[in-house]
């Protein structure tokens, strides 16, 4: 995941807008370039415009404005069946009246492929998803996971270079979903295809993607590899949306040498990394990940900031402990600490000092 | 089952003699079955309304005469007769009588004598075509034509054979979708003498000859099965000449003032009247017979002609026929029985048709299909 | 693990199978009680009438019941010969007719036999109580019967009586197939009388045409309905159902106004100049009229099952097909259409079965070449009172429907029919 493929602009969205009713824009000024072989995930809450973008790419929706290019060619006016894009649908959309093998042969048949070649490709695709035995069955006779594999195989069988996946794992249970995430990832790596993946599950996005585009309100809020997204969210929406996050409201006092001094509402001044605040006097939200907050001061670096906290709740969760605290007036401040065996149980009402490395506190602009 | 119907028959026969004049056990409601429309209204105005006023009887009218034969048979099989008095055409009355579904009637005993002193059976004369049938009106199936057809150059048909004359009177025809009437007219117009018609029709050649004659106009003919069709088709200009019941034509001509004329030549007389279902309980039978006596007396039959252009079945009623209740026109010249209208007529030969109807109908329908 | 030789035993020591059966029996009885009203209803309103119809189509007990002695006496008479029956038969007939006329049952027998041979009706009607009362019993009876009507001594009369003296007859079924039994075997009736086979064939052809028309017109409508937002779909659905709410007579008049030669459509075509005034189209009082009117009436029965099936076909299938490279047409034909087949099946079966039994509309707008076999059935029930023949025709119709149902089951599979 570390080495992002070079972005050669295999798929590009150029100032794309979409409106259904002529009044509101569902997609506002989308610019996006996807490299060949990349696994890009569009992540966002429902209604954020991610699925619309995928449908425009597939050709089922037309862009109201702007241009979508595939391999350098504008595809705005190319009907979906000529785009040669594989697609996996949310509910698989396996044709119920055809057997698994017929489903797979369908894209080959419409491409007028000969029978023997067709059979060979179908067999290969089925083997690829370990479903070689199931060619004669009907979709209804398969489990959800098996159907998912067939849908995947069908999208791949005609050697599409670009495969779109619209929440393909949404209908599966947690365990199967996680398993399939890895399988899809492996297939992606193995075949070198480009995948555009839509999901609202951030875990899925982080696990599988080369890059994630976080959508909200018709815009890409941040486009970055998973670790950047998690470690360095660029605005408070991304910080909130990806993983768990503590926020402390405050005002920027000043910014010196790339360090912002922020006065919290409790009056305390802390240091934070200015991400998109620049002016003194500006309101800001300090974002700190729960697992970066330490109770054990010995683990903190020397320049760590310490702050008073009151324990409100302590929950044993097996691998971790989860402690809810009141910090600078925020009583939803959560820390997660590893169950390392030597930690003691905190009692509600207890007053402690917590701390974090200055780089882990990120001062973000306040969005509405 | 058999025994039971025999016994019911026996009790009703007993009831006949006594109950008709007894007033102690008469039902105070009646279900009368008729054809609906203007005809039923005329019966209500002339018979049941005055009777109800005098006797306080509640009348229920059922417009099921069209399917009365089948319904009565079903009722009789289920042994649950809900009708008290049923208006049917004479041929149906005969069928019901043969089936034992209609009650046999002694006309002289049960019906009022004529105003002129004649007995009921003399007064109705040979219109009593079945022992179960109490005649009510004489109507006829005859032709109406449009009087404004440009291609006819002012000519109007005067003979039934003009129906076949496609050259002088071009245009669409309408004939009833059954053989009765049509085959007789066809033979007459094919040159057969009136008195030979039925003898000839009993032979396959006769039927074939009639159908061959009808073939001449088959392609220009609309075949109707409901009496209302021809008047409507005439009014719409869809046909130029067509057969239907004379009362319907009267209403098109006199009431709706359509440009339609009447062709009485060889009108086919038919009779309509009452039958009493066999096996009525005593109190209902007594009420039915009491009403029947009232509704078929000389004055009542004459009264009916105020509302509809059908002739009363009693000879003694004819002099009493007056003017139309609303239009005020003299009704006598519109009666099928009026001497001017009945120069050439057919009286529906019931006996003959009862024997031959199924056979000729099969041939006729088969011919229609070809 | 229990081995198969030892029966599994429930907690109370009884074999598990028996305990299970007992537990299930109570459930079964309860289920049976719940459906009992419906079962009774179906038996009373459906099975009994059908059984009754089947019986009627072969029942001929009336002859043997009305004139039992005559039937018995006729056993010795050779109907293939050329001599009328002897005095013994007339004596038996006299005894039978005395009882029959007293019970007023002789005319009924006459009506029955008149279906076989014209003239029997009046023959029996004439032979009434009064005439029989005047018989001189010391004299031979045959000439006295001859006095009533010479038909009493003709061979034809007695052949008809003898050939119909069995309490069960195939005669109605033969007649319903344009056949008749003669002393020499079964042969077709003359072309002049043949009608039923032709009508059966026509009924089939027209019903298939109507079903096909309903499908052609209904499929796109159902498709639009299924793809509209449900608000507008419900609106349109009301329009589709409108024919159900208008009375038959209103509809019939409307068709006449529209379709007749002086009607709106012809007027319009003449006015536009497509047709010459003397060359107007005949669209009513013929088969065209029947097809148009019946298609109109039955269209909802095609649209509704189609609609409810199409509603369940997700639009993603079409998208999936297109994403796989199929053109709009291929996607529709290979992916959407096969999934809508259960709806087509249900609609077609509904429409076809309803069409095949219709008689009012064909009677009103069908003229002569647009009427169905049901019109003849109706005629025999309501007019000629030949219920036996009507029953035989109806039974054949029922058999044809069942046969088609069977064919459909073989071709498409009856489980492949969905109403939604």
Q: What pLDDT digit, counting tens, does each position of B50-108 carry?
A: 999 999 999 999 999 988 999 999 999 889 999 999 999 999 999 899 989 999 999 99
**B204 at the C interface (CB within 8 A)?**
yes
Kindly give the pairing relationship between strand A194-199 and strand A162-166.
parallel
Instruction: For residue C12, name the pLDDT band (cuts at 50, 70, 90).
Output: confident
Residue C2: per-residue pLDDT: 46
Residue A110 sits in the same domain as residue A250: no
Residue C3 has pLDDT above 80, yes or no: no
B in contact with C (at least 3 C-beta pairs within 8 A):
yes
Task: Tell me the CA distances in angstroms from B153 to B147, B148, B265, C362, one per residue in order.
Answer: 10, 9, 21, 36
Q: How many CA atoms lie within 13 A of C46 on its CB side?
A: 7
Instruction: For residue A6, name the pLDDT band (cuts at 50, 70, 90).
Output: low
- C383 contacts on B by Cβ (under 8 Å): 69-70
Token pair of C125 as six digits: 């009607």
Q: Is B22 helix (H, G, I), strand (E, B) or coil?
A: coil
Task: Tell me the CA distances in angstroms from C385 to A124, B253, C224, one per residue in order.
Answer: 73, 36, 48
Mean pLDDT in residue range A196-214: 92
Contact call for C316 and A91, based on CB within 8 A: yes
- For residues B131-148, one letter each, b for 16 or more C-beta atoms within 10 angstroms of the residue's C-beta and e for the rest, the string is bbbbbbbbbbbbbbbbee
Per-residue pLDDT tens digits for C162-195: 989 999 999 999 999 999 887 778 899 888 889 9
Q: Which residues, including other chains, have CB under 8 Å from residue B295's CB and lie 6 or more apart?
A: B43, B46, B47, B48, B51, B274
In 3D space, the residue among A51, A84, A69, A55 whose CA is nearest the CA of residue A13 turns out to be: A69
Residue A337 sits in the same domain as residue A220: no
Domain endpoint, select from A184, A217, A236: A236
Residue B4: per-residue pLDDT: 38
Contact B366/C192 with Cβ under 8 angstroms?
yes
CA A94 to chain centroid:
26
Contact call for C192 and B208, based on CB within 8 A: yes
Q: Which A residues, 73 through 132, put their C-beta within 8 Å of a C-beta on chain C?
A: 79-87, 89-91, 93, 95-97, 106-107, 110-111
Q: What percent of chain A has pLDDT over 70?
A: 98
Residue A77 sits in the same domain as residue A224: yes
Q: How far apart are the first and last CA of chain C?
A: 46
**Phi, psi (5° rounding) for residue A78?**
-95, 125
Query: In angstroms, what separates the C-alpha of C318 from chain A's closest C-alpha?
Result: 9
Per-residue pLDDT tens digits for C278-317: 888 889 888 999 999 999 989 999 999 999 999 999 989 9
Residue A337 sits in the same domain as residue A189: no
Q: What percent of chain C has pLDDT over 70?
A: 98
CATH of B145-270+340-369, one of 3.40.640.10, 3.40.50.720, 1.10.10.60, 3.40.190.10: 3.40.190.10
Q: Which residue has the tokens 């026929």?
A: B321
**C295 at the B interface (CB within 8 A)?**
no
In 3D space, the residue among B216, B215, B202, B251 whose CA is nearest the CA of residue B42 turns out to be: B251
**A144 at the C interface (CB within 8 A)?**
no
Residue A135 sits in the same domain as residue A259: no
Facing residue for C381 by CB, picked from B70, B238, B357: B70
CATH superfamily assigned to domain B2-138+272-327: Periplasmic binding protein-like II (3.40.190.10)
Task: Tell me the CA distances in angstroms from B100 to B7, B104, C99, C121, one per residue in order.
Answer: 13, 9, 14, 13
Chain A interface mutation, best of C316, C324, C412, highest count of A Cβ atoms under 10 Å: C324
- C416 contacts on A by Cβ (under 8 Å): none
Residue A33's CATH number: 3.40.50.300
- B177 contacts on C by Cβ (under 8 Å): 368
The total of other beta-carbon atoms located within 10 Å of residue C85's CB is 24
Residue A257 sits in the same domain as residue A231: no
Residue A205 sits in the same domain as residue A279: no
| Rounded CA separation B187/B189 (Å) | 5
| Rounded CA separation B368/C369 (Å) | 8
Contact call for C114 and B358, based on CB within 8 A: yes
Residue B145: per-residue pLDDT: 97
Residue B171 has pLDDT above 60, yes or no: yes
| Rounded CA separation C116/C180 (Å) | 9
Residue A74 bridge partners (DSSP): A69
Kindly list the partner chains of chain A, i.e. chains with 3 or more CB atom pairs below 8 Å: C
**B283 at the C interface (CB within 8 A)?**
no
More confident residue, C253 or C296: C296
**Phi, psi (5° rounding) for residue B336?**
-60, -25
Mean pLDDT in residue range B205-231: 93
Chain C interface mutation, best of A57, A70, A93, highest count of C Cβ atoms under 10 Å: A93
**C249 at the B interface (CB within 8 A)?**
no
Residue A305 sits in the same domain as residue A205: no
In a domain, A146, yes or no: yes
Instruction: For residue B15, name the pLDDT band (cuts at 50, 70, 90).
Output: very low
Residue A279's CATH number: 2.40.50.140
| Rounded CA separation B292/B274 (Å) | 8
| Rounded CA separation A277/A261 (Å) | 11
Instruction: For residue C5, name the pLDDT band (cuts at 50, 70, 90).
Output: low
Nearest CA in chain C to A163: C323
| Rounded CA separation A160/B312 (Å) | 93
Residues forming CATH 3.40.190.10 domain(s) in chain B: 2-138+272-327, 145-270+340-369
Residue C46 has pLDDT above 70, yes or no: yes
**C3 at the B interface (CB within 8 A)?**
no
In a domain, A5, yes or no: no
Mean pLDDT in residue range B2-23: 42
Per-residue pLDDT tens digits for A20-59: 988 889 999 999 999 999 999 999 998 899 999 999 999 9
Contact B267/B198 with Cβ under 8 angstroms?
no
Residue A256: per-residue pLDDT: 85
Mean pLDDT in residue range A231-249: 88
In a domain, A6, yes or no: no
- C327 contacts on A by Cβ (under 8 Å): 81, 110
Residue A368: per-residue pLDDT: 55
**C61 at the B interface (CB within 8 A)?**
no
| Rounded CA separation C135/C145 (Å) | 9
As for how many domains chain A has, the answer is: 2
- C335 contacts on A by Cβ (under 8 Å): 95, 106
More confident residue, C33 or A303: C33
Kindly give the pairing relationship between strand B311-312 and strand B134-146.
antiparallel
**C321 at the A interface (CB within 8 A)?**
yes
Q: Which residues, including other chains, have CB under 8 Å from residue C288's CB and lie 6 or more apart?
A: C282, C370
A131: domain range? 11-236
Q: Which residue has the tokens 């360095």?
A: A232
Residue A189 sits in the same domain as residue A81: yes
Residue A258 has pLDDT above 90, yes or no: no
For domain C196-416, say whether CATH 1.10.3720.10 is its number. Answer: yes
CB pairs B-C closer than 8 Å: 102
Residue B105 bridge partners (DSSP): none
Residue B24 has pLDDT above 80, yes or no: no
Contact call for B357 and C384, based on CB within 8 A: yes
Residue C419 has pLDDT above 90, yes or no: no
Facing residue for C119 by CB, picked from B97, B98, B355: B355
Residue B20 has pLDDT above 70, yes or no: no
Residue A331: per-residue pLDDT: 87
Parse chain C into domains and list their residue ranges. Answer: 61-167, 196-416
| Rounded CA separation C315/A131 (Å) | 26
Query: In angstroms, what separates the C-alpha of C226 from chain A's closest C-alpha?
Result: 18
Instruction: For residue B265, name the pLDDT band (cuts at 50, 70, 90).
Output: very high
Residue C410: per-residue pLDDT: 86
Per-residue pLDDT tens digits for C206-219: 999 999 999 999 99
Per-residue pLDDT tens digits for A64-120: 999 999 999 999 999 999 999 999 998 899 999 999 999 999 999 999 999 999 999
Residue A267 sits in the same domain as residue A193: no
Average pLDDT, chain B: 89
Contact call for C320 and A93, based on CB within 8 A: yes
Facing residue for A107 by CB, picked from C314, C325, C339: C325
Say what the ipTM of the complex is.
0.84
Residue C6: per-residue pLDDT: 66
3-state SS string over chain C?
Answer: CCCCCCCCECCCCCEHHHHHHHHHHHHHHHHHHHHHHHHHHHHHHHHHHHHHHHHHCCECHHHHHHCHHHHHHHCCCCCCCCCCCCHHHHHHHHHHHHHHHHCCCHHHHHHHHHCCCCCHHHHHHHCCHHHHHCCCCCCCHHHHHHHHCHHHHCHHHHHHHHHCCCCECCHHHHHHCCEEEECCEEEECCCCCCCHHHHHHHHHHHHHHHHHHHHHHHHHHHHHHHHCCHHHHHHHHHHHHHHHHCCHHHHHHHHHHHHCCCCHHHHHHHHHCCCCCCCCCCCCCCHHHHHHHHHHHHHHHHHHHHHHHHHCCCHHHHHHHHHCCCCHHHHHHHHHHHHHHHHHHHHHHHHHHHHHCCCHHHHHHCCCCCCCHHHHHHHHHHCCCCHHHHHHHHHHHHHHHHHHHHHHHHHCCHHHCCCC
Q: Which residues, including other chains, have CB under 8 Å from residue C5's CB and lie 6 or more apart?
A: none
The total of other beta-carbon atoms located within 10 Å of residue C98's CB is 15
Query: DSSP code of A346?
Result: P
In a domain, A1, yes or no: no
Q: Which residue has the tokens 């040498």?
A: A257
């Amino acid at each position: 995941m570390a080495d992002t493929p070079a972005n050669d602009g295999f798929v590009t969205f150029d100032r794309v807008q979409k409106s259904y009713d002529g009044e509101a824009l569902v997609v506002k000024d989308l610019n996006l370039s996807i490299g060949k072989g990349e696994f890009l995930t569009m992540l966002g809450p429902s209604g954020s415009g991610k699925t619309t973008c995928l449908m425009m790419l597939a050709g089922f929706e037309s862009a109201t404005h702007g241009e979508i290019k595939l391999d350098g060619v504008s595809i705005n006016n190319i009907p979906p069946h000529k785009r040669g894009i594989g697609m996996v649908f949310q509910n698989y959309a396996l044709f119920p009246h055809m057997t698994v093998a017929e489903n797979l042969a369908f894209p080959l048949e419409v491409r007028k492929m000969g029978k023997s070649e067709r059979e060979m490709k179908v067999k290969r695709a089925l083997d690829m998803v370990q479903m070689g035995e199931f060619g004669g069955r009907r979709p209804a006779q398969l489990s959800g996971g098996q159907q998912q594999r067939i849908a995947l195989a069908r999208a791949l069988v005609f050697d599409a270079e670009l495969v779109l996946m619209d929440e393909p794992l949404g209908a599966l249970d947690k365990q199967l979903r996680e398993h399939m995430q890895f399988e899809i990832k492996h297939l992606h790596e193995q075949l070198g295809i480009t995948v555009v993946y839509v999901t609202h599950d951030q875990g899925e996005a982080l696990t599988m993607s080369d890059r994630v585009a976080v959508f909200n309100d018709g815009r890409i809020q941040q486009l970055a590899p998973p670790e950047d997204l998690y470690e360095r969210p660029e605005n408070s929406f991304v910080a909130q949306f990806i993983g768990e996050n503590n926020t402390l409201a405050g005002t920027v006092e000043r910014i010196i040498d790339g360090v912002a001094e922020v006065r919290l509402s409790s009056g305390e001044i802390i240091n934070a990394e200015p991400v998109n605040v620049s002016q003194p006097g500006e309101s800001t939200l300090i974002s700190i990940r729960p697992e970066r907050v330490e109770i054990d001061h010995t683990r903190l670096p020397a320049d760590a900031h310490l702050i008073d906290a009151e324990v409100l709740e302590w929950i044993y969760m097996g691998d971790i402990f989860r402690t809810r605290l009141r910090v600078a007036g925020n009583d939803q401040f959560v820390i997660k600490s590893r169950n390392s065996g030597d930690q003691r149980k905190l009692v509600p009402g207890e007053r402690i000092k917590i701390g974090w490395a200055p780089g882990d506190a990120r001062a973000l602009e306040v969005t509405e | 089952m058999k025994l039971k119907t025999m016994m019911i028959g026996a009790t009703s026969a007993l009831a006949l003699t006594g109950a008709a004049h007894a007033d102690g056990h008469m039902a105070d409601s009646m279900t009368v079955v008729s054809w609906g429309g203007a005809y039923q209204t005329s019966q209500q105005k002339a018979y049941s309304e005055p009777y109800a006023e005098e006797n306080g009887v509640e009348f229920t009218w059922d417009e099921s005469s069209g399917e009365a034969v089948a319904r009565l048979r079903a009722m009789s099989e289920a042994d649950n007769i809900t009708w008290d008095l049923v208006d049917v055409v004479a041929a149906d009355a005969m069928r019901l009588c043969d089936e034992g579904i209609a009650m046999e009637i002694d006309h002289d005993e049960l019906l009022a004598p004529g105003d002129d002193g004649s007995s009921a059976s003399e007064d109705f004369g040979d219109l009593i075509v079945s022992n179960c049938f109490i005649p009510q009106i004489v109507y006829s199936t005859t032709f109406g034509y449009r009087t404004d057809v440009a291609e006819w150059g002012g000519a109007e048909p005067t003979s039934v054979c003009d129906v076949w004359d496609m050259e002088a009177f071009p245009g669409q025809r309408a004939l009833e979708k059954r053989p009765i009437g049509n085959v007789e007219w066809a033979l007459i117009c094919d040159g057969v003498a009136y008195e030979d018609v039925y003898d000839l029709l009993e032979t396959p050649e006769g039927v074939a000859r009639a159908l061959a004659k009808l073939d001449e106009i088959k392609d220009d003919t609309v075949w109707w099965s409901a009496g209302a069709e021809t008047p409507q088709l005439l009014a719409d200009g869809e046909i130029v000449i067509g057969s239907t019941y004379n009362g319907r034509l009267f209403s098109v001509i006199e009431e709706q003032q359509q440009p339609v004329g009447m062709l009485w030549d060889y009108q086919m007389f038919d009779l309509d009247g009452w039958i009493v279902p066999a096996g009525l309980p005593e109190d209902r039978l007594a009420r039915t017979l009491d009403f029947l006596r009232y509704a078929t007396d000389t004055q009542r039959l004459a009264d009916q002609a105020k509302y509809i252009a059908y002739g009363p079945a009693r000879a003694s009623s004819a002099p009493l026929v007056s003017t139309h209740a609303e239009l005020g026109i003299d009704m006598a010249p519109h009666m099928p029985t009026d001497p001017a209208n009945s120069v050439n007529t057919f009286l529906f030969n019931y006996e003959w048709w009862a024997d031959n109807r199924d056979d000729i109908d099969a041939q006729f329908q088969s011919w229609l299909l070809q | 693990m229990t081995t198969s030789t030892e029966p599994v035993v429930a907690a109370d020591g009884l074999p598990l199978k028996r305990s299970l059966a007992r537990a299930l029996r109570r459930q079964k009885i309860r289920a049976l009680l719940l459906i009992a009203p419906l079962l009774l209803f179906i038996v009373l309103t459906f099975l009994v009438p059908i059984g009754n119809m089947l019986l009627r189509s072969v029942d001929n007990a009336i002859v043997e019941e009305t004139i039992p002695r005559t039937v018995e006496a006729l056993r010795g008479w050779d109907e293939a010969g050329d001599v009328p029956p002897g005095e013994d038969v007339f004596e038996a007939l006299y005894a039978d007719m005395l009882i029959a006329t007293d019970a007023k049952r002789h005319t009924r027998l006459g009506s029955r036999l008149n279906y076989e041979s014209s003239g029997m009706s009046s023959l029996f009607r004439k032979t009434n109580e009064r005439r029989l009362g005047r018989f001189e019993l010391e004299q031979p009876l045959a000439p006295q019967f001859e006095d009533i009507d010479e038909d009493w001594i003709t061979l034809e009369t007695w052949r008809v009586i003898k050939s119909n003296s069995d309490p069960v007859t195939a005669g109605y079924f033969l007649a319903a197939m344009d056949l008749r039994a003669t002393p020499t075997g079964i042969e077709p009736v003359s072309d002049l009388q043949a009608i039923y086979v032709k009508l059966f064939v026509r009924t089939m052809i027209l019903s298939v045409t109507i079903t096909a028309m309903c499908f052609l017109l209904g499929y796109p409508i159902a498709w639009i309905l299924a793809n509209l937002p449900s608000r507008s779909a419900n609106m349109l659905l009301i329009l589709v159902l409108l024919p159900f709410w208008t009375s038959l007579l209103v509809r019939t008049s409307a068709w006449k106004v529209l379709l007749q030669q002086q009607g709106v459509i012809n007027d319009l075509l003449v006015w536009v100049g497509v047709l010459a005034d003397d060359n107007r189209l005949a669209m009513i009082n013929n088969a065209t009229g029947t097809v148009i009117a019946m298609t109109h009436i039955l269209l909802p029965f095609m649209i509704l099952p189609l609609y409810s099936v199409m509603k369940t076909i997700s639009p993603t299938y079409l998208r999936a097909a297109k994403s796989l490279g199929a053109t709009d047409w291929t996607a529709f034909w290979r992916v959407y259409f096969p999934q809508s087949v259960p709806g087509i099946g249900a609609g077609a079966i509904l429409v076809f079965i309803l069409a095949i039994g219709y008689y009012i509309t064909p009677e009103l707008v069908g003229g002569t070449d647009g009427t169905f076999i049901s019109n003849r059935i109706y005629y025999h029930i309501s007019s000629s009172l030949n219920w036996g023949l009507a029953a035989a025709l109806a039974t054949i119709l029922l058999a044809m429907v069942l046969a088609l149902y069977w064919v459909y089951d073989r071709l498409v599979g009856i489980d492949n029919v969905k109403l939604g």
